[in-house]
Structure 1
Amino acid sequence: MPLPLRVKMSRIQSRSAHSPVNTLMWLAGVSCSLALGFAVQPHAHAASTLAPNAPDLSAIETVVVIFAENRSMDDLYRGFPGADTSANLPASAYLQKDRDGTVLPELPPIWNGITGRGAPNPITQAMTEHLPNQPFDVDDAKGFNLPLNSLTHDLWHRFYQNQMQINNGKNDMFVAWADSGAMPMAYWSGKNMQMWKIAEQYTLADHFFMGGFGGSFFNHQWLACACAPYYAKADISPAHPSIAVTDASGKALALAPNSPKSALEGVPKFVKDGNLTADFYAVNTMQPPYQPSGNAPAAGQDPRFADPTNATTLPAQTSPTIGDRLSEKSISWAWFSGAWEHVLTHGNSEPVPDFQYHHQPYNYYQNFAPGTAARAEHLQDGGLNGERFLKTIDRGQLPQVSFYKPQGNLNEHSGYADIQSGDNHIATLVHHLEKSPQWPHMLVIVTYDENGGLWDHVAPPKGDRWGPGTRIPAIIISPYARQHYVDKTVQDTTSILKFLTERFLLRPLEGVQTRDKAIQASTGQPLGDLTSALSLPVHNN
């Protein structure tokens, strides 16, 4: 469908969200909630400060952010109609280079093969030799023929490696600086995903980037505070061995003398690939100072805390978060974590729920320490398999702002989760949200924390020291979302925080302001705030 026609259709369909029928449905939902004794939150309105003809953000009363794991845009949405994907590229545009800058004659093998634990038909390393220097389809029936419910091996997705792979926007060293050989160039035929169909119905943002370079720990922090966590006096702390050694640029790791010269020969080796920068910012996975944590309590210590002498325990953070800013304005909010109470009560287990401790950003902050009122109010259990979150949706009891993190086996992360299980889970959430009493004035953002080391061809815009990193999928779902639309606006994870700041008139976080200015300087346009995907009423004061 031509783009102008899509926009026209979206405007027509968006108006239907304000129809008498939908209004009655919303009123009926509110009445039902009151009858059952549920609190209906008063909503802050931003209209009074809006310029004439500006979108009236007060039409959005409930915001839901669903944060999945580790997929690039080209990995899942290659060939999506109207989107900028690698399916539209000439072969010369995706050639990967070796560590010396020369074009690789072929992709290296996938070290240790493609498939992970329990694979019924293992794809061995030998079966991946001599792949052409180009993206390859993992589920191609004529190729590796791995369905969407397959577990594949994990890939490096770390702060410095991500910058080295991006290679100043050329995106041509994903294979060179990987630990998985050719695996970064893998993609799946996403047309069979439920979320592909939902993206076709609403808006797919195809220039949306992960907020920070690297991995899940860092990008969850970016969603919470738009900041890099800090470890004071790390050089004289237990974490001292984890301080990375970089080259003169400060953006790449220093190579070890015995590192293989070519990607065809093996995995690169570094002098020290650590979790902390030379000036003590935590950029790779550190564990929360509070339970649940990957680090157990110290002997004789309060069992609610993690051992502070463990090298990977991050001290409690004090930077302001978007949660703090929402609380300042009495905006109700919660971080819903799948299997949170299950793990606190019964402990973690694999493969279910395979809870990921470093995916819980507010568990790193002093304001949400065990025993605080803020922790009890805002760190909520999503339930095993998300059941508690689903019931909250169905009852129309979501706070004004909800963040939802699926448990490990449902988050789509390479290595320990498959795509299909997570796709089915997130699609189920969306279908429940569409039927929620709160739906008529809801905005849902489904996105991923980061790319998981998987290649994408679009150059991230030049930002600040911390990002943005590689392009990731983002789907904007709402009665106000443009229908059958692809949004080209440059956005990243901080765009979510920017929207919340504008909608609820919050004090801006410094990191969001810094990122916004950096994007403005490099692209000539401010960082997007999600509103380009919406057909909202116009403020006419």
Structure 2
Amino acid sequence: MKHLVHRTIPRRLAAVASAAVVAGATAAGGVLGVGVPSAAASNSTTATPIKHVVVIFGENVSFDHYFGTYPNAANTPGETLQGSNVPAAKFTPSADTPKNINTLASAGLLAPNNPNTVQPARLSPFQAVTCDQDHGYTAEQKAYNGGLMDQFVQYTSRDACGTNQFGRPGLTMDYYDGNTVTGLWNYAQHYAMSDNHFSTTFGPSTPGALNLVSGQTHGVKEFTAAGQPVTPTASDYTVRQPDATGTGTVINDPDPVYDDCSNSSHKSTNNLAGMTGKNIGDLLNAKGVSWGWFQGGFAPTTQASGTTPAACLASHTNAAGASVVDYSPHHQPFQYYASTANPHHLAPASTAEIGHNGQANHQYDLTAFDSVVNTNNLPAVSFLKAGEYQDGHAAYSDPVDEQHFITKTINTIEKSPNWKDTAVVVAYDDSDGWYDHVAAQVKNASNTADDAAWCQQAAAKGTPIAGGYQDRCGPGPRQPLIVVSPFSKQNFVDHTQTDQASILRFIEDNWSTGRVGDASADATAGSLSAMFNFHHERRDQVLLNEENGSVAAVLHGNNGHGGHHHR
């Protein structure tokens, strides 16, 4: 958990980012600061009927951690949700739920048959806030043990932690079921999910966020806390495998250099990271397609003034009663790039600017999304990141708080006029080190001291190292992926292998932006298309109870606006 302090971005770096904002506005035909898009910025030509993509990007969940026994829940009497004592929902699956889902249960790897040294155990709805696990690039590879998937306890389990956080020996093995993550199980029942979706690479949040928006973790440069360039060493935290120019790969969670709110009180002198190359924001700007990243706590609690940087200290209380600062800089991928950063966290000059070029440069607080979701100014592409207490990250968040955010957000979208041509994608940045029994064969190898046998052996056998860039080994651990849309298949489980860059590729293909280039993972990412049926638009939608995730109402006719049935 980070407690943010003021940090001054030098005028030179802030000017670089500001110049990129102006250049982007000019290239796209926008009017900087006015917030009125040009005709080019209203480009709505798409390859599919989807005109709006909303990506809800959560934190730190493996597939088995949330779906290990899907679709069968314990339904233990008397259980309540942590933080509220609200009765946990019971879960009864539909009779037509697919049978061939690759879960812990279907693989026969529940107790007592798991090869790890501790057997998997169910976490109850009252054990929502748990210890955070080790989700380092190297630790996750070591847990794989060459594909045997039997050393998670040794390498990723963290079993004891702070007050009001549940822990036990071998905690990494544990899982929730449909009595806790009821909302996600219900979305899977009524829309489409994948059981073969992975991190693009191994490692924690920052690599996952960068892979979502660029398919690329290479291209990082290092700066001091004061924003001055640094020549990194080979063992540096911020830059791994640096070349002669100091450019290398990021495998950890350094904060972004183009962000006033980077660094925390106990790491106030940490070096910072800046990315070179392109991201999806650059591609969308070039096509005149509206987009935005919306994050909880992005609105500053203290505005930038002169040489005084903005501060981002808004907080909320999680299910365990702990106060959690909302904004995490290293969860905000666009702040690593000068071209798409909003260093001083400036608000849009007007509601009309949201999604378009202007002083906020497409980076917003979550409240900005709320202001446009029911209007014709909803951006074509929206990335949503909850405040930390609701992002699902173990230790400071949890599945109960996360469920409140996801269900409220999707309910709002489903009831909006934009629902008819929207696809909501629920995905995650990393696995947190939680156990998952499935290992995808390495597509992109690496062979450095940061890599374990799983990736080194792949390199030795000739698996390519894309671009020659080391420390990008992947795919990494398996994660949940759900698509909620009028065009998503119903109660469907996709077995196509995909990864975080598959979401990037879907956006690229839908708006014909072209690829990121420079060995980005978008070029080889699997397709999400099997999760959709673009020949048949559904005439129903399912609204969930925002407290416990149970089905609250089913709307029928004209995409749900013609009638309703309550359950």
Work out the CA distance in 2 between the residues paired with 1:194 and 1:216. 23
Please, which of 357, 363, 366 is the counterpart of residue 379 of structure 1?
363
Secondary structure of the 1:66 match is strand
Call closer, same or farther: CA 1:153–1:39 in 2, change over 3 Å. farther
Q: Read off the aligned partner of 1:134 and give its amino acid letter.
A: Q
After superposition, the C-alpha distances for 1:238-269 in whole angstroms (9 at most, x for unaligned) are 6747826xxxxxxxxxxxxxxxxxxxxxxxxx
Residue among 195, 215, 231 paired with 2:204: 215
Alignment of 1:117-132 (within 5 A): none
- Where 2:533 maps in the other structure, the secondary structure is coil
The correspondence for 2:177, drawn from 189, 195, 211, is: 189
CA apart distance, 1:470: 0.4
Residue 211 to residue 293, structure 1, CA distance change in 2 (3 Å): farther
Which residue number in structure 1 is paired with residue 262 of structure 2? 294
Q: Which stretches in structure 1 are left out of the alignment for 5+ residues?
A: 1-36, 47-56, 97-103, 105-132, 140-145, 245-273, 298-305, 518-526
| Alignment-derived partner of residue 146 in structure 2 | 168
Give the SS at the match of 2:65.
Answer: helix
TM-score, length basis structure 1: 0.67
Question: TM-score w.r.t. structure 2 length?
Answer: 0.64
Give the residue type in structure 2 aligned to 1:365: Y
Q: Per-residue displacement from partner, 1:173-209 (whole Å, max 9, x unpaired)?
A: 2112125151210111234422221221100111111
- Once the two structures are TM-superposed, the CA of residue 415 in structure 1 deviates from its matched residue by 0.7
Which residue of structure 2 lines up, in the alignment, with residue 51 of structure 1?
Answer: none
DSSP-derived class of the 2:293 partner: strand
TM-superposition CA deviations, 1:25-48 (whole Å, max 9, x none): xxxxxxxxxxxx9999744335xx
The 3-state SS of whatever aligns with 1:190 is coil
Match for 2:240: what amino acid?
T
Q: CA 1:338–1:237 in structure 2 vs 1: closer, same or farther (change >3 Å)?
A: closer
- Whether the 8 Å contact between 1:39 and 1:397 is mirrored in structure 2 is no
- Partner of 2:142, secondary structure, is helix
**2:67 matched residue in structure 1:** 77
Q: Aligned pair in 2 of structure 1 residues 233, 448: CA closer, same or farther (>3 Å)?
A: closer
The runs of 5 or more residues in structure 2 that have no matched partner are 1-35, 72-97, 160-169, 243-247, 304-310, 316-322, 347-356, 446-471, 537-567
Return closer, same or farther for 1:284/1:239 CA change in 2, 3 Å cut-off.
farther
- Structure 2 distance, partners of 1:343, 1:210, is 33
Question: Alpha carbons of 1:292 and 1:168: their partners in 2 closer, same or farther (altered >3 Å)?
Answer: farther
For residue 338 of structure 2, what is the amino acid of its counterpart? Q
**Stretches of 4+ aligned residues off by more than 6 angstroms:** 37-41, 233-237
Q: How high is the sequence identity, in percent, across the aligned residues? A: 27
Conserved? CA contact 2:504–2:522, under 8 Å:
no
Q: What is the match of residue 409 of structure 1?
A: 389
The amino acid of 1:282's aligned partner reads V
- Cα RMSD (Å) of the superposition? 3.1
Report the Cα offset of residue 444 of structure 1.
Answer: 0.9
Amino acid at match of 1:86: L
| 1:210 partner amino acid | S
Match of 2:126 among 147, 152, 156: 147
Deviation at 1:230, TM superposition (A): 3.5
CA distance in 1, matches of 2:359, 2:518: 23
Query: How many residues in Structure 1 have an aligned counterpart in Structure 2?
Result: 397
Q: Verify the 8 A CA contact 2:129 2:398 in the aligned structure 1.
A: yes
Counterpart secondary structure, 2:186: helix
Residues of 2 paired with 1:239 and 1:74: CA distance? 41
Higher helix share: 1
Q: SS state of the match for residue 530, structure 2? A: helix
Closer, same or farther: CA 74–537 of 1 in aligned 2, 3 Å: same
CA distance in 2, matches of 1:438, 1:227: 31
Q: Which residue of 2 aligns with 1:157?
A: 135
Judge conservation of contact 2:297–2:312 (CA < 8 Å) in 1. no
Instruction: Give the aligned residue type for 2:532.
Output: L
* Deviation (angstroms), 1:225: 1.3
- The letter of the residue matching 2:412 is H
Deviation at 1:78, TM superposition (A): 1.7
Separation of aligned partners in 2, 1:213 and 1:390 = 33
- Report the more deviating stretch, 369-378 or 441-450: 369-378
Aligned residue in 2 for 1:277: 240
Distance (whole Å) between structure 2 residues aligned to residue 511 and residue 174 of structure 1: 33
Q: Does residue 470 of the first structure (1) align with residue 484 of the second (2)?
A: no
1:276 and 1:282 in contact (8 A); partners too: yes
2:339 aligned with 1:367, yes or no? yes
**Paired residues of 1:226 and 1:511 also in contact (CA < 8 A):** no
Deviation per residue, 1:430-468 (Å, 9 max, x gap): 111111111111111011111111011111232214222
Supply the distance in 1 between the matched residues of 2:386 and 2:500 (Cα, whole angstroms). 18
CA 1:296–1:195: 2 relative to 1, 3 Å:
closer
